[in-house]
Amino acid sequence: MYQIAQLSPINPGLIEDPQMTDGPREFPKVLREPSYLVRTVRAPIQTFIHTEEVGAAILLAAAAAALGWANSPWSDSYYDFWHTYISFDIHIFAISENLEHLVNEGLMAVFFFVVGLEIKRELLHGELSSFRRASLPVVAAVGGMATPALIYLIFNRSGEGVVGWGIPMATDIAFALGVLALLGRRVPAELRVFLLGLAVVDDLGAIAIIAVFYTESIHWANLGLGVALFLVIAGCLRVGIRSLGFYLIICVVMWQFFLESGIHATLAGVLVAAIIPAKPDLHRREYAAAMEDHLHDFRLAMASDDEEKAQSIVEQIETLSRGTEGPMERLENIVHPWVSFAVLPLFALANAGVIITSDALAEALGSPITLGVAIGLLLGNPLGVLGLTWLAVRVGLGELPPAVTWRHVLGAGFLAGIGFTVAIFIAGIAFDDPALVNQAKMGIFGASIIAGVTGYLFLRFGGGRST
């Protein structure tokens, strides 16, 4: 059993090791960092925001490429490519879908897995971890979801467009944070955290809407098999199995059963994310004690020029260090860049290719679906976010973060109107008619561009400067 080394009474950063004769030595800073908050909360959030900012630029480029391809002389190849069928059958796993559906129902399950991890992190350690911290982002998100939906229903009280009410409720985290990144120090850091909390709650609402309102029929046998595999995953996590390949195989088969059950397959990713353990396998005290022994052995190996043993100890230290990360944090760090730099750009490339002609624009401008989506995103989000946040502060449910003004909140409301990714996703499952999907997409594109530019200009020139 490891014994924890004694800290030097003169300098707490030094360690007195009775096995060493060369006096006290410097204790690695990572081991004596007193703030668990810094490692567990701030660092992942900073990494998340940075990844979203860079990912937003790639996502925008992919969307522009899709629009250019679909409106080029080679537009037929765009639709032919994404409607190419892929078939695969190995008895327990069989699938036959075109590339567009594989992206929307397969790769987007990975996206919603990361969304689930983000929601769980915020609930455990972030802006949603207490009532006082969560009250304003939650209330703001409710306003930013309910008001756009109501505006949409004003334009689509009946008819085939009524089912699209969930489209303008979505906020695209990547683009919203990307716009804030362009503003730099002109907006307070607290506004970024507020917008992140709002967007996470918005994603949670989108997940609930997809599960409850956009499931037409359920095949109970397949759903039962999917739930059974989910319970297998939960049990294996409970007993401490940490083989990524093992879980990957089970998750793929579970996803297939959810796909065939009638419940949207992307929800499988959210369910798995909800049960990923957050606590690390190795506690910090155990890590510190083990590191003492490894560092001592490493110095002895280097002193005796035993390079092979020294390298072996380095590998053990790497394994030990990975054990201090919780599986949730480790998976988010691994998967999140893939989602930002590959999954979402592929989704944009597969779904943003709308043919824009004068006739199509005229039809969209007269379509209640396009108008409901566009006005819901562009006006419903800022009005809903600002209105319910003001009401929450007025009745004492919370208070604005330091340095955040009401102008900042309104600017964040405009940025919440950027509904690109999830809005397009919901449009694709809300409507069966491609013409209606295209009308919704035109509303999403137009409103998202205007909302992003308006939010940027408002915060750039009207939000005040961060100190």
Q: How confident is the model at residue 132 (pLDDT cuts 50, 70, 90)?
A: confident
Which range scores top for mean pLDDT: 104-113, 190-199, 352-361, 446-455?
446-455
- The token duo for 173 is 């985290």
Contact 173, 448 (CB under 8 A): no
According to the model, what pLDDT value does residue 34 have? 43
Least confident stretch, 36-40, 229-233, 354-358, 405-409: 36-40
Proportion of the chain above pLDDT 70, given as a percent: 85
Query: With bands split at pLDDT 50, 70 and 90, how would you rate the model's confidence at 50?
Result: low
Per-residue pLDDT reduced to its tens digit, 388-442: 999 999 998 888 888 889 999 999 999 999 988 889 999 999 998 989 999 999 9
Report whether pLDDT(39) > 80.
Answer: no
In sequence order, what E strands does 314-442 have? none
Higher pLDDT, 91 or 371: 371
Q: What is the pLDDT of residue 36?
A: 45
Is 457's pLDDT higher than 50? yes
- Across the chain, mean pLDDT equals 82
Residue 463 pLDDT: 56
Residue 14's pLDDT band (cuts 50, 70, 90): very low
Which of 448, 412, 339 lies closest to 51 in space, CA to CA?
339
Taking residues 334-360, report their average pLDDT.
88
Looking at residue 30, its pLDDT comes to 42
Residues 287-311 have a mean pLDDT of: 79
Residue 87's H or E segment, with its range, is strand 85-89
Specify the pLDDT at position 45: 55
Instruction: Single out the residue of 275, 279, 283, 280 nearest to residue 247, CA to CA.
Output: 275
Q: 7 pLDDT band (50/70/90 cuts)? A: very low
Q: Poorest-confidence range of 12-21, 178-187, 337-346, 394-403? A: 12-21
Confidence of residue 69 (pLDDT cuts 50, 70, 90): very high
Question: In this predicted structure, what is the pLDDT of residue 411?
Answer: 94
User: For residue 44, what pLDDT is reported?
Assistant: 57
Place of tokens 């009775």: 18
- Residue spans of beta strands (DSSP E) within 313-396: none
- Nearest 5°: phi and psi at 282? -125, 120
Q: Does residue 144 or residue 265 have the better pLDDT?
A: 144
More confident residue, 251 or 315: 251
pLDDT of the residue at 376: 96
What residue has token string 């897995």?
113
Lowest-confidence pick of 179-188, 314-323, 360-369: 314-323
Most confident range (mean pLDDT) of 155-169, 185-199, 268-282 is 155-169
Under a CB-based contact definition with an 8 Å cutoff, are residues 418 and 175 in contact? Answer: yes
Q: Which of 103-112, 122-131, 213-222, 255-264 has the lowest mean pLDDT?
A: 122-131
How many angstroms separate the CA atoms of 373 and 224, rounded? 36
Q: What is the mean pLDDT of residues 248-259?
A: 89
Domains plus CATH for the chain? 59-214+330-461 (1.20.1530.10)
Please give the model's pTM, rounded to 2 decimal places.
0.77
Kindly tell me the sign of the dihedral angle through the C-alpha atoms of 294, 298, 304, 306.
positive
- Cα dihedral sign, 364-365-368-371: positive
pLDDT at 258 over 50: yes
Please determine, for residue 16, whether its predicted confidence score (pLDDT) is greater than 60.
no
- Angle, alpha carbons 225-227-229 (nearest 5°): 70
CA distance 273 to 250: 14
Q: What is the pLDDT of residue 6?
A: 38
How high is the pLDDT of residue 305? 81
Rounded distance between C-alpha atoms, residue 325 and residue 283, angstroms: 9
Q: Which of 19-28, 258-267, 331-340, 377-386 has the lowest mean pLDDT?
A: 19-28
- For tokens 């054990």, name the residue: 323
